[in-house]
Structure 1
Amino acid sequence: MIIVNAKFSVKPEAREDFLNEINALIASSKQEEGCLAYDLYESAATPNEFVMIENWATKENTEVHNTNPLLLAFAKNVANYVAAAPVLQIVEKKED
């Protein structure tokens, strides 16, 4: 399994645009083959700080996901929404 965590510090004035675009991406991504989970969470302690947690069955599934047109558009637009560069963490979890 591949686990992807992406942290976003969103500018308050860009919050609604960020949520609109990322919610469309979430809905699309959840329909992709191998998507086990694709969820966005907001920090209870820090407003406008979000973490996307993705779980994919295989590395190949993530590679196909990386060609999703909504993901590519979001990647182009993300600088308009965030106060700092997103932080990505990718982990491959070996099955027991």
Structure 2
Amino acid sequence: MTLIIVATIDAQAQHIDAVRAALESVVAPSRAESACLRYELHLDNKIPTRFIMLEEWTDKAGHTAHEATPHFKTLVAAVGDKVVKIDIAELSKLK
């Protein structure tokens, strides 16, 4: 069963550009991972400091491997002190 991830990243207002750049930098290498089925970055139309990453992975192990990649670790380090909050929802598709 695939694993769906919805990551909500709330940037500090003064760091919107840096957070966006860091998030954009992981899209291509994440999509290239063999377990990645979907990896899309979105901006909330009503909250300009909020980014939403929609992801789909072949399974939990594939997502765990993603979290161990150099590009993911670089992302975490780059946004760590520039965000207000990060919320990660792990979903299982029912239908």
TM over 0.5: yes
Task: Return the letter of the residue paired with 1:61.
Answer: G
- Report if the CA contact (8 A) 2:22-2:78 is conserved: no
The percentage of aligned residue pairs carrying the same residue is 21
TM-score, normalised via structure 1 length? 0.86
* Gap regions ≥5 residues in structure 2: none
Instruction: Please say if 1:44 is aligned against 2:45.
Output: yes
Higher mean Cα deviation, 22-31 or 73-82?
A: 73-82
List structure 1 segments (4+ residues) > 6 angstroms apart after TM superposition.
Answer: none
* Gap regions ≥5 residues in structure 1: none
Instruction: Give the superposed CA RMSD.
Output: 1.6
Number of aligned residue pairs: 94
Give, in angstroms, the shift of residue 23 of structure 1: 1.0
Q: Distance in 1 between matches of 2:74 and 2:80?
A: 11
Q: Distance in 1 between matches of 2:45 and 2:30?
A: 25
**SS of residue matched to 1:65:** helix
**SS of residue matched to 2:81:** helix
